[in-house]
Each structure stands twice: as C-alpha cells, then as structure tokens.
C-alpha cells in the first residue's frame, strides 16, 4: 500500500514537500523553502522529518524557491540520488539556487558580526555554495509527456502547468503487486490569461490528486481590464515626462511585462525612448525563455512572428540590458522617458531601491507594482501610501504616482482551478486534497468545490494517507 505524507505547503503556501512511499521505494515531491514570517523561516533550519538517505529520488514541479529552495540542504544532509524536473527547470534552478545561497551567506555574515559584538554564539548557513554545486550535478532534465522510471515501481511524467517556464503537473504512476495506481500533483497551475506560456495541460485520470489552492477563494481581474489600465498608465507617464519604475520578480513576471510592453510597441502605443531591464538575474532568465520558445502558446508565438520578432528582445526593440553595476548607476542620469524594470519584486533588496532614491521624489515619476506585495515589505508600505521610503538610512519623500495592477498573477484563479479539475473523469473522480494555500482560503475553496460536486479534504501537516 502506497502512502503520502504532507510535510510542507500545508499550513500556508511555502515549503512544498510531500513524501510518497511504497514497500520498495520512497520519493519526495518538491523540497521548498518556508518563506514569510520569522517563525516560518526558522523551519528551514530544522532537520527533515524523514531519513534523507532512504530517499530513492526527488521530483520537482518547478524552480521557484518555495518548491526547490531546500534541495541543497537535502544534499548537505546526505541525499545523493537523482532530482527529476523538466529541462527548463534545470536551467532556472541553477540561477535561483546560486542567488539564494549568495543572499543567505551574506545575511549570515552580517548576523554573525552582530552576534560576535554581543559575545553570542555564531550561526551556520543552511547550506553552502558547494552544496548548491553538488545539487545541480544531480539534476535530470526531462521533456513534457515523457514517462521515466525514478525508483522501483514508480514512474513519473511531467505535463505543462503553464505557471512559469518549465513548470509541471506531476503524474506519478505507482505499481504494486502488478496493480498500477496514479497520483497527480498539480504543482502551481498557471493563469490561462497570462502571456507566453500555454494553459495548464488537462489530465483525465488519477486515483489521488494534490491540488494547489493559492487563489481558491477568488477570481482574478479580467485581463482586458488589466491591460487597458497598464496602457493608460504608460501613456499618462509619457505625457507627464517622467520615468516609470517597475519592481518585478525575475522569473515569469518580468518576461510577461516585457511581452506586454512589446505589444504596446508593436501597436505604436509605447512612446518611451527605452526600456531598461536592470537585473542580471532577470536578464539571465529572459535568455533562458528565449531558448525555450517552443513551449510558448500559439497566440503569442503568432504575435511575435507578425512583429518579425525572433525573441522577446526583438519584439521590444527599445529593450536594453543593464548587466553591470556601472550600467545600472548610469540610469540615474535619466530624468525622463525611460521604463526601468528591476528587482526585487517586493523592494526589500536589489537595484530597484537605488532607482527609487533618484525617482520617488519626482512628481512626474510613476511606480507600477505588477506583483503581490506581502505585509511588512517596503513595496507594501508604498502601496499602502507611505510618505517616505527608507534607503540606506536616508528618508526619501514619495511624490511619484504609485499604481497597483493586480491582474498579472501567474496562478490559476478559483474558476480556473475548477475548470482544470473538471477535466478529470467525472465517473471516477480522484480523491482530492487541497495543498499550497492559506487556511482560510482552503476552507472557502473546499466549500465552493462542494457546491460544484467535489468532495475535497484539507490535510494536516504530518498527516499520512494511503492509496
């Protein structure tokens, strides 16, 4: 009898980790970081609640750190088998893990200086650069639709989830005593209105379904309204003469914004002189998106072809990369007519903060937030109407226009989640478990699904089910 134990993304939306075990093998689905409040992040340092050395394989749904960020810790603790994912995820994972370990080591160094002055015990990083390097050597990139054996009696097949490049719905085939049963893990399902990527692939059969529920309590704003507002803000900024600053996440959101700006350019509606992508990480990710255009949806491929574009860069010819520190600093001399896209997405680090220093106090400047701003972040403070922004001890007066556009989510909405699960056989519905969602959201979603003829369960952390 196979079992699944729920270890992460159960009491929230981070730390994704699910252990599937049979009499002959054990595999881990995802190994993500806990992110958010300090008490949640402290869970990253705890020992794994299972014997790492007994794992036969790890299967990764996609590269985002809340699904992948503890892989180097798993390796540091003794894991030495294959890690399966799609080929684009392998490339994105290298960028994300190297960035994560650099930030972690920097934070540990700063914290140890403080502890040393206080005469307290120093702390160790969760993992090292060597652990990241070893993790990457274990990664195996697979194609969508290709069934591969990952452990004795266990095969997996990746289906396109449409969330970020390389994101996957994971089909897990478990054979015991000649009988095959199937578990499907949705991973993070994409918003079918998003640019570039395809809609989540329909899966018709499963015995057990683990379904993400990030937006199980709501629907997104219609995309046509979102794009109309985006166009209006860009046009307004061009009339005002100021710069536009867009804090953006390096993976997924940045590439969508580049495409949307490209649409405006192709229609003759982008009057800004240049668009600067000022993020080495986002630049590297954009180049990976260029290499995997075969997974773009047909509509956006056609739009790029119509614009005689071979890449996002040529679809938006005024796009400029600012890779070096010197190139980034040079942007401070631009007083008007530019769009600057930079990280971090919630403004708690990165180059966007330096651009704020040179633009927030300008009345003709605009800041466009295109992603969720968590409570306690500098980005959330600006969205909530902060009058001053603190940058390296300096208080900067906020005179720029602050805009929030909420329709660019990369996650499926409530109705989109329902549409996807309705693709499963209605005559033999899978046992449905809601994961990757806040507690209130899952309760609302469970009630909504009940009205639609689905009986969903909300597992507790550490709970084990059999199938």
| Shared domain check, 141 and 81 | yes
- Contacts of 34-40 spanning 24+ positions with Cβ under 8 A: 34/8, 34/66, 35/65, 35/66, 35/69, 36/12, 36/374, 40/12, 40/14, 40/15
Helix (H) or strand (E) segment spanning residue 388:
strand 388-391
The total domain count for the chain is 2
What string of DSSP letters covers 152-200? TTEEEEEEE--SSTT-EEEEEEEEETTEEEEEEE--SPPPTTSSSBPPP
| Shared domain check, 115 and 27 | yes
Nearest-CA neighbor of 68 among 174, 213, 167, 185?
A: 167
Per-residue pLDDT of the chain (467 residues; tens, 9 = 90+): 899 999 999 988 899 999 999 999 999 999 999 987 777 788 898 999 999 999 999 999 999 999 999 999 999 999 999 999 999 999 999 999 999 999 899 889 988 999 899 999 998 999 999 999 999 999 999 999 999 999 999 999 999 999 999 999 999 999 999 999 999 999 999 999 999 999 999 999 999 999 999 999 999 999 999 999 999 999 998 888 889 999 999 999 999 999 999 999 999 999 888 999 999 999 999 999 999 999 999 999 999 988 888 889 899 999 999 999 999 999 999 988 999 999 988 888 889 999 999 999 999 999 999 987 777 788 889 999 999 998 878 899 999 999 999 889 999 999 999 999 999 998 899 999 999 999 999 999 999 999 999 999 999 999 999 99
Among residues 404, 428, 458, the one where a domain terminates is: 404
* β-bridge pairing 139-142 and 338-342: unpaired
| Shared domain check, 84 and 28 | yes
Give exposure, 234-262, as e/b (b: 16+ Cβ within 10 Å): beebbebebbbbbbbbbbbbbbbbbbbbb
3-state secondary structure of 404: strand
| Shared domain check, 453 and 326 | no
| Shared domain check, 165 and 52 | yes
Contacts of 414 (CB under 8 A, 6+ apart): 215, 216, 217, 218, 219, 445, 448
| Shared domain check, 210 and 132 | yes
pTM as predicted: 0.93
| Shared domain check, 325 and 460 | no
Helix (H) or strand (E) segment spanning residue 382:
helix 378-383
Q: What CATH code is carried by the domain that includes residue 278?
A: 3.40.50.10890
Amino acid 38: pLDDT: 75
Among residues 387, 404, 421, the one where a domain terminates is: 404
| Shared domain check, 172 and 194 | yes
* β-bridge pairing 274-277 and 244-247: unpaired
Among residues 382, 404, 426, the one where a domain terminates is: 404
| Shared domain check, 385 and 449 | no
d(CA 8, CA 15): 5
> Partners of 429 in the beta sheet?
none
| Shared domain check, 418 and 390 | no
| Shared domain check, 315 and 428 | no
The range of the structural domain enclosing residue 282 comes to: 223-404
The answer to whether 224 and 249 are in contact (CB under 8 A) is no
* Burial grade of 143 (CB within 10 A; 0-12, 13-18, 19 or more): exposed
Amino acid 407: pLDDT: 85
Nearest-CA neighbor of 171 among 200, 199, 197, 195?
A: 200
Q: What CATH code is carried by the domain that includes residue 7?
A: 3.60.15.10
| Shared domain check, 157 and 266 | no
């Amino acid at each position: 009898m196979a079992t699944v134990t729920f270890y992460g993304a159960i009491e929230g939306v981070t730390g994704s980790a699910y252990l599937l075990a049979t009499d002959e093998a054990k595999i881990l689905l995802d190994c993500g970081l806990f992110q958010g409040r300090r008490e949640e992040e402290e869970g990253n340092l705890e020992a794994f609640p299972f014997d790492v050395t007994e794992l036969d394989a790890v299967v990764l749904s996609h590269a985002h750190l809340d699904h992948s960020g503890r892989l180097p810790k798993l390796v540091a603790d003794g894991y030495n088998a294959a890690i399966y994912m799609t080929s684009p995820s392998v490339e994105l994972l290298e960028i994300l893990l190297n960035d994560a370990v650099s930030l972690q080591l920097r934070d540990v160094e700063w914290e140890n200086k403080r502890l040393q002055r206080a005469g307290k015990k120093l702390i160790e990083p969760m993992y090292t650069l060597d652990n990241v390097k070893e993790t990457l050597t274990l990664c195996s990139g697979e194609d969508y639709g290709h069934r591969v054996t990952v452990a004795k009696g266990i095969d997996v097949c990746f289906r396109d989830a449409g969330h970020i490049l390389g994101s996957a719905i994971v089909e897990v085939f478990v054979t015991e005593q000649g009988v095959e049963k199937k578990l499907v893990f949705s991973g993070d399902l994409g918003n079918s209105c998003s640019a570039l990527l395809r809609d989540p692939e329909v899966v018709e059969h499963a015995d057990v379904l683990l379904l993400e529920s990030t937006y199980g309590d709501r629907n997104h704003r219609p995309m046509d309204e979102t794009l109309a507002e985006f166009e209006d803000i860009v046009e307004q900024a061009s009339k005002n003469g100021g710069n536009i600053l867009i804090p953006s996440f390096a993976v997924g959101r940045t590439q969508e914004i580049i495409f949307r700006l490209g649409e405006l350019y192709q229609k003759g509606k982008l009057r800004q002189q240049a668009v600067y992508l000022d993020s080495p990480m986002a630049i590297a990710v954009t180049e990976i998106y260029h290499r995997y255009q075969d997974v773009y949806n047909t509509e956006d491929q056609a739009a790029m072809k119509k614009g005689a574009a071979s890449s996002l860069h040529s679809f938006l010819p005024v796009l400029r990369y600012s890779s070096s520190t010197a190139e980034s600093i040079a942007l401070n001399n631009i007083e008007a007519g530019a769009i600057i896209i930079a990280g971090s997405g919630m403004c708690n680090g990165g180059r966007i903060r330096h651009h704020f220093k040179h633009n927030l106090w300008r009345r003709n400047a605009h800041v466009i937030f295109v992603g969720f701003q968590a409570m306690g972040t500098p980005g959330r403070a600006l969205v909530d109407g902060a009058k001053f922004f603190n940058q390296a001890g300096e208080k900067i007066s906020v005179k720029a226009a602050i805009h929030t556009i909420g329709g660019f989510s990369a996650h499926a909405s409530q109705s989109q989640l329902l549409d996807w699960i309705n693709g499963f056989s209605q005559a033999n519905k899978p046992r449905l478990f809601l994961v990757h969602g806040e507690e209130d959201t899952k309760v609302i979603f469970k009630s909504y699904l009940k009205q639609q003829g689905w009986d969903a369960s909300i597992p507790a952390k550490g709970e084990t089910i059999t199938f």
